[in-house]
Amino acid sequence: MAVKITILGKVHVGHRLFLLEEADRLFIPCFDARNVKINGKEALIVLVDGEKEKIEEFIEFIRSEKPEKAVVEEIKVEEYVGSVREIDRFRNSFNTAQLSKIVQVGLKMLEKQDETIKVIKEES
């Protein structure tokens, strides 16, 4: 059973990782999630495919739970006809994207550190 779940609201706050953990817990074999904007508003598009009972439990989880900083305004669930990538492939892609963001933040921190050291040396 494949479904597309659209979650509207303030959802770019760790929601993908939050849902990935639940999909893992339920042994859902196929999972994908993308942060998008719909009509200028934050949204999360989630695709899952697996056993009907597990998918229904996953949907119930989405309706009843959310990350601490999330504000969910609307949840739409619809049948999905396309293919959904394996959860391990999503996890690998997600990890790479997150590591890339961490590296960029780290580089900015090092630049700030270099600037701060320079100012301290000049003032000493």
Res. 104: pLDDT tops 90: no
Percent of the chain with pLDDT over 90: 73
Measured CA distances, 38 to 18, 31, 62 (Å): 21, 21, 19
- Chain centroid, CA 22 distance in Å: 12
Sheet holding 2-10, edge to edge: 30-38, 41-49, 2-10, 71-79
34 forms beta bridges with 45
Between 3 and 105, the more confident residue is 3
24 DSSP assignment: H
Question: Which residue stretches of 1-124 are H helix?
Answer: 15-25, 52-64, 87-123
Q: What is the pTM of this model?
A: 0.81
Whether residue 113 is predicted with pLDDT greater than 90 in this model: the reply is: no
- Looking at residue 121, its pLDDT comes to 76
Which residues, 6 or more positions from 81, have their beta carbon under 8 angstroms from its beta carbon? 2
Residue 14 region, left (φ>0) first, then alpha (ψ -120 to 50), else beta? left
User: pLDDT digit string (tens) for 52-88?
Assistant: 999 999 999 999 999 999 999 999 999 999 999 999 9
